[in-house]
C-alpha cells in the first residue's frame, strides 16, 4: 500500500512539472519586426529608418536580418525619457540576480515559437552561445527572467548567424 502511494505521489509531481513547463508564458512577449511595426504603428520603410537611426536608440536586437524586442522593453522605452529608461535598464541588469523570482521555465519549442525561427536557424542561434539557455541533450531550457535580462543586455547589438 505504501509503495502505491509513493508511486502515485511521484506521478502527480511529474505531471505537475510537465504542466508548468507547457504553460503559456505571459511574463515575456517577444515581438519580431512585424510585431514591432504594429506596436509602433508604422510601415516597413519608416521602421527601417527608426531602427537604423542612432537618435532613437530603439531597444531592439538584430538576429540575422530580423529585429526582435520584448513588449516590456518597448512599453518602458515609450513611457520613460532617455535617461530614465537607461537608469531603469541598468537597474534591471544590476539587480537581476538578487531576487528568487526566476519566472517561467521555457522549453526549446516555446523559445522557437517565440522567436518564430525554423529548426535550422534556431539551432545555429543556440550554437552561437548568444542565448542564455542550458542545452542538455536535445533539450534547451531557460527562464523568462534570464531571457528578458538578455534582451536588456543586448539592446542595439547585431547577432550574425552563419548557416
Would 155 be classed as within a structural domain?
A: yes
Say what the pLDDT of residue 24 is: 46
How sure is the predictor about 61, in pLDDT bands with cuts at 50, 70 and 90?
A: confident
Mean pLDDT lowest among 3-17, 62-76, 78-92, 115-129: 3-17
**Residues 69, 32: contact at Cβ < 8 Å?**
no
Distance in angstroms (rounded) separating the CA atoms of residues 148 and 154: 10
Would 14 be classed as within a structural domain?
A: no
Would 49 be classed as within a structural domain?
A: yes
Q: Which three cell numbers stand for residue 83?
A: 535617461
Would 75 be classed as within a structural domain?
A: yes
Would 102 be classed as within a structural domain?
A: yes
What mean pLDDT is predicted for residues 119-141?
A: 83
Q: How many domains does the chain have?
A: 1
Distance in angstroms (rounded) separating the CA atoms of residues 88 and 79: 11
Would 43 be classed as within a structural domain?
A: yes
If one counts every other C-beta atom within 10 angstroms of the C-beta of residue 129, the result is: 9
For 36, the domain range is 28-159
What mean pLDDT is predicted for residues 45-74?
A: 85
- Over 60: is that where the pLDDT of 99 sits? no
pTM across the whole model: 0.66
Would 125 be classed as within a structural domain?
A: yes
Say what the pLDDT of residue 19 is: 64
Would 11 be classed as within a structural domain?
A: no
Amino acid at each position: 500500500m505504501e509503495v502505491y502511494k509513493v508511486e502515485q505521489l511521484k506521478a502527480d509531481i511529474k505531471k505537475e512539472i510537465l504542466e508548468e513547463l507547457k504553460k503559456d508564458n505571459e511574463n515575456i512577449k517577444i515581438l519580431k519586426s512585424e510585431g514591432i511595426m504594429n506596436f509602433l504603428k508604422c510601415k516597413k520603410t519608416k521602421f527601417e529608418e527608426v531602427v537604423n537611426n542612432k537618435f532613437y536608440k530603439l531597444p531592439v536586437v538584430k538576429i540575422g536580418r530580423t529585429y526582435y524586442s520584448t513588449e516590456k522593453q518597448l512599453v518602458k522605452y515609450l513611457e520613460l525619457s532617455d535617461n530614465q529608461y537607461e537608469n531603469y535598464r541598468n537597474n534591471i541588469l544590476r539587480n537581476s540576480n538578487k531576487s528568487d523570482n526566476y519566472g517561467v521555465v521555457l522549453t526549446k519549442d516555446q523559445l522557437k515559437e517565440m522567436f518564430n525561427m525554423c529548426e535550422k536557424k534556431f539551432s545555429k542561434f543556440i550554437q552561437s552561445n548568444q542565448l542564455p539557455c542550458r542545452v542538455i541533450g536535445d533539450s534547451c531550457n531557460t527562464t523568462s527572467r534570464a531571457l528578458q535580462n538578455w534582451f536588456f543586455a543586448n539592446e542595439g547589438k547585431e547577432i550574425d548567424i552563419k548557416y
